Structure 1
Amino acid sequence: MADVGAALRAGVLGRCPKCGRGKLYAKYLRIADTCGACGADFTMADSGDGPTVFVILVVGALAVPFVLVLQLAFGLPLWLVATAGLLFTAGLSFVLLPVFKGVLFSLQWAHGAREGRLEK
């Protein structure tokens, strides 16, 4: 059985799912080809669009109440509510995308997920 807890920890921290020390990302949202600490090959897994879907769900669930509270409780002008909502949504998305991508990648690693191939 895969150690899901260690995979989640590594994904949230942006660390190698194998050793937990090396960096997972070469740049923002670009997963490195190999781990700098243990040499693990990261080219086998790809989280694809999965993290984006989860981030949209989480950010949407938090942004709508945020904007509603600003508008209904404080009675702020619409332009200010729209600007604050946009900044909140964009900022939270940029923070959560690497976390969710790291978690999904690490879970793929922990469970040994590979690209599908046809048997001959």
Structure 2
Amino acid sequence: MGRGLMARCPRCGEARLFRRWLRPHDACPRCAVDWTPQTADDFPAYISILLTGHLLAPVIIALVAEWDLGPGLLAAIILPLAAVLMLGLLQPAKGAVIALQWWHGLNGFRRERGGDQRA
């Protein structure tokens, strides 16, 4: 999962997982694992929204409690910060979801790790 968070191939850890911001390579250029079976769908967005909300909640509480800011100024601070956090967390979340799918052999991936080899 750590390799996915770092946008690296979960199998070899050396090649980049994404060819564009959220578009993974069809196959790893280094170890040739096929990434086309991945179906991350909306789950990375849910993770990103959840983390953004949890990270911003103390900031919002501190801004409201410590400073007497109007709603417009509060929105001018929070909305851009939320957008930056959301977009910044989206690619690592998608990489982690793809890594988890590969690790557990879900959605057409072949489970390759040693130990318990359930199909």
TM range (shorter): 0.7 to 0.9
Q: TM-score, normalising length from structure 2?
A: 0.83
Say yes or no: does 1:55 pair with 2:69: no
Larger relative strand fraction: 1
Q: How many residues align?
A: 108
Alignment match, 1:64: 57
1:100 aligns with 2:98: no
Q: Equivalent of 1:38, from 31, 36, 55?
A: 31
Q: Confirm or deny: 8 A CA contact 1:47 1:105 kept in the other structure.
A: yes
- Supply the distance in 2 between the matched residues of 1:84 and 1:36 (Cα, whole angstroms): 41
CA distance in 1, matches of 2:69, 2:44: 33
Unaligned runs of 5+ in 1: 1-7, 116-120
Distance 1:69 1:105 in 2: 35
User: For structure 2, which runs of at least 5 residues remain unmatched after alignment?
Assistant: 109-119
Give the percent of matched residue pairs that are identical in Structure 1 and Structure 2: 34
Which of 54, 79, 82 is the matching residue for 2:75? 82
